[in-house]
Chains A and B, each alone.
Chain A
């Protein structure tokens, strides 16, 4: 068969192998932003002015922070509305703000402010917390390092994921969404390069609801998906 005009030459040459998947890990260092709130109005103003890192930290940083394994709320804003201001309805509304669905940090910020302003509009007084229960805006720095481990074939992921630390899962499955185009995780991003063979695997990965899971639970779900896919393939 001769090469047709317009046909990509690469189809005829030996395809380049996809570079191996590099397993990285990370650690977070938490820092004070220097902004705090005691009233709901100060809370709104704080949300408007803190850096994007801070909004991100209060939605996602909690996954790597000391917390009870069955937290009542999935973001710090909702938790403070409930326990700092004793505003149950507001806490429920803030708790359903979903950072998986709303990918842009500024859109998340706007959504939070919208909910808070709606509450402020409805009340004649501004809810205030006790002086020793103020909300302190935080942010985190992420330190990323290479574990030296590599995955060359999707069938190796089942085993590899089981030995990954929770912080490595955070880096590849949560933090990745800030880095990759279309806000996808690192596994799916790499698997795409493998062609249509992995489409079903990527679809299954996209079903994990990472906002309502601990990192250990996400690790278990990932390993299960990779293992099942591997069994179906062999």
Chain B
């Protein structure tokens, strides 16, 4: 498995990983999240877990389960942490805590003896309460933008987050006032996954037939869940503004995630805003349609990600890997990837997005140039191998203790 990655990133990068992982061989590591399919977290874990195993760590991945009320509650918590004003009734919070208590009992045999436990996002955060005599280090991994959380909800969650040994955020602005170390690790994409591997030109071209797209008309694409923070309505507005000046077609690709009950409501609003325009194609693809999404991204001339809040924006990374210039919302992790005027454009309004779309559609050479730079930026900074290196470093940091210099002498010379 590691050899396949060496072909993409270079043998030296893989050697580096092996050396970092050597002292961690046999370490019992458990990841816990709330969905096996759909969303960036599940995608990362699908690859991160086997890679850590290939490096000799004893890694497992557990998923907490709950009823629809539990997911309703966690979606609201998710939205509140991203700054939306939402109501959370006591009865919903009771479901949240009870579901975590039930899952804690189910997962107890795995979690109690783990050396390191990574808890992803707020859904399973309270699990820690049920392991007062835990053996290992517990790390709270927050993937979402909590730069301006609804304070009441953050205060509610903080009692659990504060009990962890460390936390991980994707960007510095998401870090909070906490007494434990707060590590910063950006997420990543997997260049060998179905969603990102190179595809034959014919397979990419089939997208036009399959979705009744016009191969002679420029194609603008946004891939993301039907979620208000992804601003799909703003995308349609930008499309309408740009279309008044230049011909184009828009494809919105949304996938459902099993822990997102709000999607269908937003999808309805999007359909209504499109108002039957034959050049607006609203697709709802299953969470495992990775190859299909890959082909659509590759068929695009420009990729949009007009989010108003964004944890990191892995769809931006995917598009950039495919050498597409991205017009992205000036927020969160999109800023780390879209270097304004170099790898794409950062925008704050539908008007701004329309202007940049028009510019790029009229400058083929700029699209190519930005796309090449975008690919290089992702290759050096946002692939799974870099992400894995930072997780290994963090685990060493947790095990070796504090201090600004930690030395791991695992080879004895001679």
By the criterion CB–CB under 8 Å, are B184 and A30 in contact?
A: yes
Q: Nearest Cβ distance between residue A42 and chain B, in whole angstroms?
A: 15
Task: Find chain B residues with CB under 8 A from A20 CB.
Answer: 413
By the criterion CB–CB under 8 Å, are B19 and A145 in contact?
A: yes
By the criterion CB–CB under 8 Å, are B175 and A34 in contact?
A: yes
B177 interface hit (Cβ, 8 Å) = yes
Task: Find chain A residues with CB under 8 A from B404 CB.
Answer: 53, 139-142
By the criterion CB–CB under 8 Å, are B182 and A31 in contact?
A: yes
Among A132, A141, A147, the most chain B Cβ lie within 10 Å of the Cβ of: A141
Chain B interface size range: 35 or more
Interface of A is mostly: strand
B331 interface hit (Cβ, 8 Å) = yes
Q: For the complex, give the distance between the alpha carbons of A145 and B339 in Å.
A: 33
By the criterion CB–CB under 8 Å, are A27 and B390 in contact?
A: yes
Q: Nearest Cβ distance between residue A168 and chain B, in whole angstroms?
A: 8
By the criterion CB–CB under 8 Å, are B184 and A165 in contact?
A: no
Interface residues of A in 51-85 (CB under 8 A from B): 53, 66-69
A136 interface hit (Cβ, 8 Å) = yes
Q: For the complex, give the distance between the alpha carbons of A144 and B411 in Å.
A: 12
Identity of the chain B residue whose Cβ is nearest the Cβ of A168 in the assembled complex: B16
Identity of the chain B residue whose Cβ is nearest the Cβ of A28 in the assembled complex: B393
Interface string of B141-163 (1 = CB under 8 A from A): 00000010000000000000000
Q: For the complex, give the distance between the alpha carbons of A25 and B5 in Å.
A: 20
By the criterion CB–CB under 8 Å, are A32 and B184 in contact?
A: yes
Q: For the complex, give the distance between the alpha carbons of A140 and B403 in Å.
A: 10
By the criterion CB–CB under 8 Å, are B182 and A68 in contact?
A: no
Task: Find chain A residues with CB under 8 A from B23 CB.
Answer: 145
B134 interface hit (Cβ, 8 Å) = no
Task: Find chain B residues with CB under 8 A from A142 CB.
Answer: 404-406
Task: Find chain B residues with CB under 8 A from A163 CB.
Answer: 12
By the criterion CB–CB under 8 Å, are B16 and A134 in contact?
A: no
User: What are 6 A-B residue pairs whose CB atoms fall within 8 Å in the complex?
Assistant: A22-B413, A27-B393, A66-B377, A136-B172, A144-B408, A145-B410
B residues lining the A interface (CB < 8 Å):
12-13, 15-16, 19-20, 22-23, 147, 169, 172-173, 175, 177, 181-186, 331, 336, 339, 342-343, 373, 376-377, 380-382, 389-390, 392-394, 396-397, 400, 403-411, 413
A residues lining the B interface (CB < 8 Å):
20, 22, 25, 27-32, 34, 53, 66-69, 132, 134, 136, 138-148, 150, 163, 165, 167
Ranked 6 nearest A-B pairs via Cβ: A136-B172, A32-B175, A66-B381, A27-B393, A148-B411, A145-B408
